[in-house]
Amino acid sequence: MRLVFCGTPSFAVPTFEALLDAGHEIALVVSQPDRPVGRAHQLTAPAVKQTALATGIAVVQPEKIRNNTEFREQLESIAPEAIVVVAYGRIIPPWMLALPRLGCINLHASLLPKYRGAAPIQWAVAMGDAYTGNTTMLLEEGLDTGPILLQQTVEIAANQTAADLFDVLAREGAPLVAKTLAGLADGTIKPEPQNHEGATFAPLLDREDGRMDFAARTASELHNRWRGFQPCASHGGC
């Protein structure tokens, strides 16, 4: 299948590699621009870009995509059958949602409609959940509101941190995306609407989320927040 892959951090790399292993043609990788990293502010390429270049696949890193005529023409010339989006970090505009025949397929690290938003892994751990999972879905204009394609459940161990869980969900989600594409292609997977009344949200973390309020929380709650929000979790927050 001819694809465009949109992804930025290491979480997206296993899916990118799984799609190549499954024989898909990734005609283009779209990633966020290189950013300064560390105390030295060394300009560093995202993990997905590094992986794509190592395999000889073209990468673009537009600062903006919504009204980017050059970028739009590039994707239209590729005419992908599907666009796969994994931790890209940008809102996909309507013109891009409508472009591929099979739609824009997203891997979201929660069991939607639970934990819509940018930090589902951290919030699942911080809330003390016993399990979470991955969802593949069709993107639409709402925030993580699109129809569900496939889901898988992943246990959260009692002392597991969000950082540990990132690696597990990234690894487990990769074959789920490949299975989703195969099912869409042969018609065995049908999109199922989400139960919007059951939605919960996992917003980006701020300083207050990392504050360890010993007077207001139980020892168990503090432990879970430390597991979910470290290194933000401290007396002073992030």
- Domain spans in the chain, listed from the N-terminal domain onward: 2-204, 205-238
Rounded Cα distance, 124 and 87, in Å: 17
CATH fold for the domain made of 2-204: Rossmann fold (3.40.50)
Q: What is the pTM of this model?
A: 0.93
Query: Which H or E element spans position 137?
Result: strand 131-138
- What's the pLDDT score for residue 38? 82
Q: Extract the tokens encoding 204.
A: 């980006």
pLDDT digits (tens, 9 = 90+) for 201-238: 999 887 666 566 666 678 888 889 999 988 644 333 33
- What's the pLDDT score for residue 214? 61
Q: Which of 169, 11, 112, 208 is nearest to 225 (CA)?
A: 208
- Give the distance between the most distant pair of CA atoms in the chain: 59
Asked whether the beta carbons of 150 and 189 are under 8 A apart, the reply is yes
Distance of CA 206 to the CA centre of its chain: 19
Rounded Cα distance, 221 and 205, in Å: 17
